[in-house]
């Protein structure tokens, strides 16, 4: 079951479990909110006493409202609260963290309008503006997490790499960074079009690159492998800070 899978992921090292009932892949159909609720609410109910931190990946106000009431802790909205007219009001009335993700198109099609002058600064400016608007609407900045939206309306490999190489810039937005590139097409494009289930190595490389630039949350599929890679990376860094013993 999904609840058992969530517990397994937590045991493998996941600090947050992200629950989503609607695909936002390119070309995916928009799901009716009733169907989305039927998919996610039973899982939230099953996990509400588990002690796990539950993130709800949705752009629909009804799902946010009922999901939070059922026990979810974080809202992760790929539309940055722009898809549903009620979403801003629902989140404002709560105290949960809210993830605002960049997308260049319309809230209905976050993969459209794939045009950038400079991808890094364009995405940064969009997030800066959106965060300002959400704060002005009454949501405390301390609740906001930014996501540059790797792969969302960024079909060119170069655009994604520009954002990734400059990820540390997003710290100047003054909010935590969520980075998600696990198994995305970017990896296939750089590795002979490897299928989604053959992208572990690339996913680990991108996760480590994001960690090096201080991303506070890294969204992954392969929890055990990523947690292990990050522990080794952290061990290397910690050891480097300890002075070596002097040989007489």
Which of 60, 154, 183, 184 is catalytic? The answer is 184
Using CB atoms within 10 A of its CB, is residue 236 exposed (0-12), middle (13-18) or buried (19+)? exposed
Predicted structure pTM score: 0.92
pLDDT at res. 29 = 80
Asked whether the beta carbons of 153 and 112 are under 8 A apart, the reply is: yes
Q: Give the 3-state secondary structure of residue 138.
A: coil
Which of 219, 231, 234, 237 is catalytic? The answer is 219
pLDDT at res. 243 = 72
pLDDT at res. 245 = 58
The DSSP code sequence of 175-231 is: S-BEEE-TT-HHHHHTTTT--GGG-HHHHHHHHHHHHHTT-SEEE-S-HHHHHHHHH
pLDDT at res. 30 = 82
How far is it, in rounded angstroms, from Cα 28 to Cα 31? Answer: 9
Alpha-carbon Rg of the chain, whole angstroms?
19
pLDDT at res. 244 = 66
Residue 219 designated active-site = yes
Q: Can you say whether the dihedral through the CA atoms of 42, 44, 49, 52 is positive or negative?
A: positive
pLDDT tens per residue across all 248 residues of the chain: 889 999 999 999 999 999 998 877 777 788 888 889 999 999 999 999 999 999 999 999 999 999 999 999 999 999 999 999 999 999 999 999 999 999 998 888 888 888 999 999 999 999 999 999 999 999 999 999 999 999 999 999 999 999 999 999 999 999 999 999 999 999 999 999 999 999 999 999 999 999 999 999 999 999 999 999 999 999 998 887 777 655 55
pLDDT at res. 247 = 55
pLDDT at res. 238 = 86
Residue 86 designated active-site = no
């Amino acid at each position: 079951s999904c609840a058992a899978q969530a517990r397994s992921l937590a045991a493998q090292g996941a600090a947050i479990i992200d629950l989503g009932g609607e695909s936002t892949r390119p070309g995916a159909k928009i799901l009716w909110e009733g169907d989305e609720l039927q998919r996610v609410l039973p899982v939230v109910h099953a996990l509400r006493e588990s002690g796990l931190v539950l993130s709800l990946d949705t752009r629909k106000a009804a799902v946010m409202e009922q999901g939070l009431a059922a026990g979810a802790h974080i809202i992760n909205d790929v539309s940055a609260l722009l898809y549903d007219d009620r979403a801003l009001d629902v989140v404002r009335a709560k105290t949960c963290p809210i993830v605002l993700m960049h997308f260049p198109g319309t809230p209905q099609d976050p993969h459209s309008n794939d045009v950038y002058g400079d991808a890094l600064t364009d995405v940064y400016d969009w997030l800066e503006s959106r965060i300002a608007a959400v704060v002005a609407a009454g949501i405390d900045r301390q609740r906001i997490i930014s996501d540059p939206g790797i792969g969302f309306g960024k079909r060119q490999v170069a655009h994604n790499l520009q954002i990734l190489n400059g990820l540390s810039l997003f710290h100047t937005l003054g909010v935590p960074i969520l980075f998600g590139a696990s198994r995305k097409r970017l990896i296939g494009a750089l590795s002979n079009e490897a299928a989604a289930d053959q992208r572990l190595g690339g996913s680990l490389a991108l996760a480590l690159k994001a960690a090096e630039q201080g991303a506070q949350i890294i969204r992954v599929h392969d929890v055990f492998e990523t947690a292990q890679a990050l522990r080794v990376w952290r061990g290397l860094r910690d050891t480097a800070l300890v002075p070596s013993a002097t040989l007489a």
